[in-house]
Amino acid sequence: MTAAIARRGWLLGSLGAALALASRRGVAANRIPLGGALRLPSPAPRRASHPLAAVDHADVWPLALTHETLAAGLPEGGFAWPLLVEPPRIDRADPRTALLALRPGMTFSDGSPVTAAAVVASWQGARDSAAGRLALARCDSLRPFDARGALGLTVRLALPGSLEEVLSAWPLALAARGVARVGTGPFMPRADDPATLVRNPRCPTGEPFLERVTLVPPMPRNDELRAFATGALDASWWGSGLYEITRPATVLRGEPAVTVGLVPTAAGPLASAATARALEGALAPLARGDAPPLAPLGLSPNGGPAAADLARALNGRPLRLAREPADGLLAALAERAVALLDAARVPAMLVTPAEPADATLRAVAPLGGDPAVTLASLLAAAADEAAASAIVRTPNDSRAAVAAEVWGRATVAVLGRAAPALHARTGVRGLRFDVAGRLALADAWIAP
């Protein structure tokens, strides 16, 4: 699932997207100015620039600009298939087998053709990452996919009815063989500067209106707000600070999507299911109240010890909670978590990732909207691939029970789902978050 597919499917409908796109662009060009550039800050340090290594939200949200998948989740539900000639056909003799037909003439941003063999090669590369292996866990383990001629694909599922989940998972975004940063999205990284994304004239679903997007490394709160207020940045992830936002801005909010959890240090005092459940109990107010910063996951873990047992596990010293100082998505949440732990008589302190820590606050991009799959995404990011795979390979009607059992014995504390929010200058139009919490920019434009 990517921004370019999702927003076009949202605007045009899944069946008519490919046919109506050219006409839509011709009309839109008469009323929406082309060109212009945006300078956008990252919500946290970005550690990966291609689908094979991305896990956290800060890694994944820019991928919607450069890489596309074969399916896109629509905001109102359902899926769009603009990269296919028609929606996939399910084999009548075997409901776990789907037949896909790629649109002819599509290319990657470097001009190489998007063929069935190229898609297979891209998906095979996904096996090199934990998130990719988790996405493919819903496919048949022996023969998950094959090329059928130049533009035909066969996808074999482990479970009937999970095709959309598989094809919309961001680790399966298309990347050219041997050049993971080359995709089919509306933008492409500039060769001499991967942080600068320029318009991809070969985007299969049409060129974006913007000419360029510059991804700026995250800044401390007040520095970013000052840069936004002076016009050096066109958006800000921070909502408050010493320098309040005085520049006119539009607040853009997404749906709760980003999975937030605490990953314990291996073999540390919190690396047990009991302490993970205790942490969840102490931090449960983060998903309660009139305006909670997190949405609950919707699964009930097994009962754990009282929060007082956390202090005993720590042997009287403060809990060291690691988080990025410049994280515009999680910083306020981390500060509130420390206050809640202190209220539960568990002394806590914030440290940087470079310092010794007992647990690390993570914001992970989900591999699907189902709460159980959301949990699996965090478990895979915390290197518990076996538990994550057990969840996604379970049929939908039994998945919640399996997820609750896995959650009960997991060492990761799952806190809930965060809704990404961005302050953008008022002249930027058409900007939105997609259903996975990533920015959709291909229809963004700057008002004159």
Could you report the per-residue pLDDT of 388-397, keeping only the tens digit for each? Answer: 999 999 988 8
Residue 19 pLDDT: 35
258-418: CATH topology: Dipeptide-binding Protein; domain 3 (3.10.105)
The whole-number average pLDDT for the span 252-279 is: 91
Residue 29's identity, in one-letter code, is A
Q: SS3 letters for the chain?
A: CCHHHHHHHHHHCCCCHHHHHHHHHHHHCCCCCCCCEEEEECCCCCCCCCCCCCCEHHHHCCHHHHCCCCCEECCCCCEECCCECCCCEECCCCCCEEEEEECCCCECCCCCECCHHHHHHHHHHHHHCHHHHHHHCCECCCCCEEEECCCEEEEEECCCCCHHHHHCCHHHCCCECCECCCCCCCEEEECCEEEEEEECCCCCCCCCCCCEEEEECCCCHHHHHHHHHHCCCCEECCCCCCCCCCCCEEEEECCCCEEEEEEECCCCCCCCHHHHHHHHHHCHHHHCCCCCCEECCCCCCCCCCCCHHHHHHCCCCCEEEECCCCCCCCHHHHHHHHHHHHHCCCCEEEECCCCCCCEEEEEECCCCCCHHHHHHHHHHHCCCHHHHHHHHCCCHHHHHHHHHHHHHHCCCEEEEEECCEEEEECCEECCEECCCCCEECCCCEECC
Q: What is the CATH number of domain 3-211+421-446?
A: 3.40.190.10
Judged on CB neighbours under 10 Å (0-12, 13-18, 19+), 33 is exposed
> Is residue 302 very low, low, confident or very high in pLDDT (cuts 50, 70, 90)?
low
| 388 vs 304, higher pLDDT | 388
pLDDT above 90 for 436: no
Range name among 15-24, 114-123, 225-234 with the lowest pLDDT average: 15-24
pLDDT band at 318 (very low <50, low <70, confident <90, very high): very high
26-40, 42-56, 70-84, 270-284: lowest mean pLDDT where? Answer: 26-40
pLDDT confidence tier of residue 297, bands split at 50, 70 and 90? confident
Domain residue limits, the chain: 3-211+421-446, 258-418
Of 358, 389, 377, 398, the closest CA to residue 297 belongs to 377
Q: How would residue 25 be classed by pLDDT, with cut points 50, 70 and 90? A: very low
Quick one: average pLDDT of 358-375? 89
Mean pLDDT along residues 268-281:
90
Q: Please, which pLDDT band fits residue 12 given cuts at 50, 70 and 90?
A: very low
Confidence class for position 304, pLDDT limits 50, 70, 90: low
Range 344-352 average pLDDT:
92
pLDDT on residue 243: 64
Asked if residue 13 has pLDDT above 80, the reply is no
Looking at residue 16, its pLDDT comes to 40
Higher pLDDT pick, 290 / 434: 434
pLDDT at site 9: 43
Task: Output the pLDDT for position 51.
Answer: 77
- Mean local confidence (pLDDT), 325-345: 89
- Across 166-178, average pLDDT: 88
Residue 162 has pLDDT above 50, yes or no: yes
pLDDT above 90 for 115: yes
Residue 3 has pLDDT above 80, yes or no: no
Percent of the chain topping pLDDT 70: 89
Which of 120-129, 159-168, 287-296 shows the lowest mean pLDDT across its residues?
287-296
Mean pLDDT of all residues belonging to the chain: 85
291 falls in which pLDDT band (50, 70, 90)?
low
Closest C-alpha among 398, 389, 395 to residue 367: 389
pLDDT at 78: 83
- In this prediction, residue 6 carries a pLDDT of 43
Is the pLDDT at 204 greater than 80? The verdict is yes
Q: What is the pLDDT of residue 316?
A: 83
